[in-house]
Structure 1
Amino acid sequence: MPADLSPADKAKYAAAKRAVEFIEDGMRVGLGTGSTAAWMVRLLGKRVREEGLRITGVPTSSRTAKQAREEGITVVSLDEAGWLDLTIDGTDEFDPDLNLIKGGGGAHLQEKIVAAASDQMIVIADTAKDVPQLGAFPLPVEVIPFGLKATKALVEETLVPLDVAGRKVTLRMNGDAPFVTDEGNHILDLHLGRIGNPSRLSLVLNQVPGVVENGLFIDLCSRVIIGHIDGSAEIRKPKVDTAENGRDDDGEIRNIFADLGD
């Protein structure tokens, strides 16, 4: 571990280092976006250069693609790669069932598509992302530019009967202009405080015309690797240990789309 890292970066480095150990020769790997995922890409590139590890990377954003190429990782599109063995990505929050809020960096649409097309999703995080209930971090919702005001009003109305603590909706900005995603869309940030039923909220939001995708990742994450400032890392699996609700006999999340890769 580099000696001059901040405590937060030490934890991110530790989680990323442990996650990269799951990658094997010949794998097709989804490469996440964000500050923690950037450490993962850097460490994966080191394995490629020093160990001769042969992998194919599918980035979840243009900035991840740029970094991966600079690290010497072979980069292809998801359509070129087909089904993936593994995706490693960061998160903004995760709860005891490994439901996630993602999209703080504005890449959750591509991140969710890549995660859904993978046998496993490993999330890397520091302890600050571990929460008893989702919602303190604003929930990103990607929307198309056309009819933006109408879509925002519909989202606000949709939230009224739902089990959330707050209902403030703001348009994400980049300076004086709306933030633009890699797909040319905008993002509404939902300041909810607490999300009582993440699955229901995700389903309802995606029914709103103009909404492309929300930042709730449900039944996609297989495990979370939590890094600590002392350089150690722990692996967290869902607390519910049943074969129901998309979990296998070991309690790990089973990607509900996994059979499509067969």
Structure 2
Amino acid sequence: MKGRNKKTSDSGKESAGVAAAGLVEDGMIIGLGTGSTTAYAISEVGKRINEEELDVQAVVTSYQSEMLAIDAGIPLTSLSEHPELDLDIDGADQVDFELNAIKGGGAAHTKEKVVACSSKQFIAVIDESKLSDKLNHSVPVEVLPYSRNLVLQNMQNMGAEPEIRQAVHKDGPVITDNGNLIIDADFDVIENPNNLASELSAIPGIVEHGIFTGMIDEIYMGKKDGTFDKFK
């Protein structure tokens, strides 16, 4: 299914985000993720709440999505208050045709995975550059600082090239919202995402990895021509 035409370079992202926001219904408790395409969805949800007087509350996955949601006028709640969500809208760094994904470019994948697994339906919004025949993006891994050397060694033994992610606008490593480090591990082409996910989960000190398998229900993909496709 294709969406409306746009003219700007981000028009496909906007079309996908707006379309995903159209799934939100009155009375829903939703999850809102992080990323440039998700930002359009957040803005549209806020617009619909204002114009249609929808009764909607959101659980956010990062400080970024929290600020965007507040600016958009979306009432916030928590998983403590609402442990089961109706819908989750989030982005991805890369997705394959089996709907496996790699997330964590924004260092928020731990909360994003918790929210996705707490939702009845998980919609991923991406642009077409994120779609790949096979996953080959580096895998973000959130790690307890105390365990970083152990985790690095285990990843190297698995054939990866791991690096602690460094901050851009300050000296030192990126620190997550949970107070942990991010290691980006390059495994080249990931032939079996499920197996790699299990291997990473077994390493002591890893809080969560960015491989998402069996979680996405549908993809809304923005295209360069300003339209979007959706598939599942």
TM-score, with length taken from structure 2? 0.94
Residue equivalent to 1:96: 97
Gapped regions of structure 1 (runs ≥ 5): 161-166, 238-262
Counterparts of 2:99 and 2:179, CA distance in 1:
29
* CA displacement at 1:37 relative to structure 2: 0.9
Aligned residue runs from structure 1 range 22-171, under 5 A: 22-135=23-136, 137-157=137-157, 159-160=158-159, 167-171=160-164
Deviations 1:26-59 (A, max 9, x none): 0110001111111111111111111111111000
Counterparts of 2:225 and 2:6, CA distance in 1:
12
Q: Percent identity?
A: 38
* Deviating 4+ runs (over 4 angstroms): 1-4
Counterparts of 1:147 and 1:3, CA distance in 2:
47
Query: In the alignment, residue 82 of structure 2 is paired with which amino acid?
Result: A
* CA displacement at 1:230 relative to structure 2: 3.0
* CA displacement at 1:70 relative to structure 2: 1.4
Q: Secondary structure of 1:123's match?
A: strand
* CA displacement at 1:148 relative to structure 2: 1.5
- Does the Cα contact within 8 Å between 2:7 and 2:226 map onto a contact in 1? no
* CA displacement at 1:4 relative to structure 2: 7.5
Counterparts of 1:193 and 1:202, CA distance in 2:
14
Counterparts of 2:196 and 2:91, CA distance in 1:
22
Counterparts of 1:55 and 1:143, CA distance in 2:
34
Query: In the alignment, residue 114 of structure 2 is paired with which amino acid?
Result: I
Q: Secondary structure of 1:183's match?
A: coil
Q: Secondary structure of 1:46's match?
A: helix
Counterparts of 1:77 and 1:4, CA distance in 2:
37
TM-score, with length taken from structure 1? 0.83
Gapped regions of structure 2 (runs ≥ 5): none
Q: Does 1:206 align with 2:207?
A: no
**Number of aligned residues:** 227
Q: Does 1:222 align with 2:222?
A: no
Output the aligned Cα RMSD: 1.5
Counterparts of 1:234 and 1:204, CA distance in 2:
33
Deviations 1:165-200 (A, max 9, x none): xx2111001042110000001111011220011001
* CA displacement at 1:2 relative to structure 2: 11
Q: Secondary structure of 2:146's match?
A: coil
Counterparts of 1:235 and 1:3, CA distance in 2:
17
Deviations 1:227-251 (A, max 9, x none): 12333221111xxxxxxxxxxxxxx
Counterparts of 1:197 and 1:203, CA distance in 2:
10
Q: Which has the higher contact order (CA 8 A, sep 6+)?
A: 2
Counterparts of 2:175 and 2:6, CA distance in 1:
36
